[in-house]
Amino acid sequence: MNPKFEVIKAVLMKSYDGLPYYLKSCFLYLSIFPEDLNVSRRRLVCRWIAEGYSWDKSIADKYFIELIERSMILPTQQSILSRQVFDSCQLHDLIRDISIAKSMEENLVFRLEEGCNSNTRGTVRHLSISSNWEGDERELENTVELSRIRSLTVFGNWRPFYISEKMRFLRVLDLESTEGLADHHLEHIGKHIHLRYLSLRRCEGVFYLPNSVGDLRQLETLDIKFTRIFMLPETITKLSKLCFLHAGNVFCDQEEWPAPPCCISAPIRFSWSRGGCSPYMWYKKHGARPFSLKVPRGIGKLKNLQALGCLDLERGNAVIEEIKALTSLRKLRVSFGIRTENVPEFCSAISCLRRLESLTLESWGENLYDYLNGMSSPPENLQSLKLSGYVEKLPEWIKGHQNLMKLKLQRTNLSSNCEIMQVLGNLPNLSILLLEDEAIQIEGTITFQSDLFRNLRVLELYYLSMEIVSLKFEETSMPKLELLRLELINCTAGLAGLQLLPSIKEMRLSIGVYPDGSITEELAQKVTNCRTKKTKEDIREQFANNKNKPILKVE
């Protein structure tokens, strides 16, 4: 209501008017999302592609960056650990007002929320149902022309009438983080044959996909990450246009395991035995595991698949042979089934994936070194490597890898000697290094020597159950480091040389002491506060002598 803001809005409106035509629709599309929501680049880019705003992910990524460079969207800080620089965004309130007004003016987006005008039947393309809307099915049908809807986005609680058979041309169905969504609500999903984007991310009430999902022949993105889906139906192999399959499950107790196909209509929670059928034993027999995804035979038919997450290699060579055929893969994560006996076949399969840019290997017993060293010719385009599990030593080929930009080591137990640090420090394009949860063995002080890590911009160190962590930065080490994140659990830290980091902008510190049999919760909190205060004082004293004047954030 302040007239001073009218001048600002006028200036911002000129910024909108100055956008090229291909960015205007992308910008107005953001009015779908609630105020202050962090919208991930992944979510936005895949939706833009599904809507036809872009035909290629790399181009859609450029649109995202261009909107940031034009200050039309704001990058959020938690995206700094990504190779893509910005992983999520928000709209400033004033910019959002413009986005909402222009999208409604052009009948592009309608936000169904408390207090909205529901008296006029609109012909909008994109429908967003807010968490505070409490209308019924009749009100929904009287408010918007359902047959014109191209995208449906639901926030908050799910109600079955949200998906209507009248939505015959629905391209995008985004139910991310929707509460109350259950398996039977998706039973007829295959009727929406024009769907290109389907997201069930963080819908913990979903345990399986119906066979009708195979009728979605236009589907390009399927996001089932952080659901409880452990197995894909065989019909998934019919989705020849599928490009992105995001998966990776939440953990559930044995009593909550999904019903196998023989009792598919069973409720989510059931007793250990239902007519002689134990779901847990059935899934164990078929090789399904928490956090991993069991794929059916024929997955190799999906020639356009670019991202495949949390793959289970329990079937051994059969599924590995399928991987060989996925020559368009750019991102692959293998979570279970890594065995010594299938090392040669797996290495051969990886060598066939010439476009692979990101590889994640997770093991719970086997030595990952065998897998890594067996790759005599690793993918040349590999930019991100994440290892979780014991690694005897780093493979020889990693020393000369020119394109590796991001490296994450977790539970690898590598020695922290000078040789390891020399190998990591000499990777020419390494910009992000994450060492987490006993990634390296602590042997006194970890010293980051001079003239190493020349292009490193982000360093994250996370240690678990170690009494003392000593870190020393020598002069001219990490000359481009901008972010240092240190997370200390049940340990203390000694830091030296922070004043020598010439490009450091920010440090994030998290200290925690957890109660156990020898310490109470109250005492643990006191120790946490004491250690946090002492470490903060030490860091601020060193930063006071740093010419870059970095900031310290305590998480």
Question: Could you read off the pLDDT of 460-503 as tens digits, one per residue?
Answer: 988 655 566 788 899 888 999 999 998 887 777 788 999 999 99
Query: H-type helices in 286-397, by residue range?
Result: 317-324, 343-352, 368-373
Is the per-residue pLDDT at 284 higher than 70?
A: no
Q: What is this structure's pTM?
A: 0.85
Neighbours of 71 (CB within 10 A): 11
Q: What local confidence, expressed as pLDDT, does residue 524 receive?
A: 82
Between these two residues, 19 and 282, which has the higher pLDDT value? 19
3-state helix/strand/coil string of 159-201: CHHHCCCCCCCCCEEECCCCECCCHHHHCCHHHCCCCCEEECC
- CA distances, 252 to each of 226, 269, 362 (Å): 11, 11, 19
SS3 state at 153: strand
Which of 191-205, 275-289, 341-355, 397-411 is least confident?
A: 275-289
Closest by CA to 488, choosing from 509, 474, 471, is: 509
Confidence of residue 283 (pLDDT cuts 50, 70, 90): very low
What tens digit of pLDDT does each residue of 388-427 get?
888 888 888 888 788 899 999 988 888 766 678 888 999 9
Range of weakest confidence among 51-55, 129-133, 305-309, 530-534: 530-534
* pLDDT of 332: 93
Rg (CA), the chain: 26
Pairing of strands 307-312, 244-246: parallel
Handedness of CA 54, 56, 57, 59 (dihedral sign): negative
Residue 148's pLDDT is: 92
pLDDT 10s digits, 504-553: 999 998 888 877 667 788 888 888 888 888 888 999 999 999 988 899 99
pLDDT exceeds 60 at position 268 = no
Most confident of 86-100, 105-119, 251-265, 266-280: 86-100
Per the prediction, the chain carries an average pLDDT of 84
pLDDT at 281: 44
Residue 188's alpha-carbon distances to 242, 469, 499, in angstroms, are 19, 55, 61
Asked if residue 389 lies in contact with residue 364, where contact means CB atoms within 8 angstroms, the answer is yes
The torsion defined by the Cα of 312, 316, 322 and 328, in degrees rounded to 10, comes to 50
List, for residues 239-252, the tens digit of each pLDDT value: 999 999 999 875 54
Residues 145-196: tens digit of each pLDDT: 999 999 999 999 999 999 999 999 999 999 999 999 999 999 999 999 999 9
pLDDT at site 375:
80
DSSP type of residue 34: P
Chain-centroid distance, C-alpha 379: 23
**What proportion of the chain, given as a percentage, has pLDDT over 90?**
47
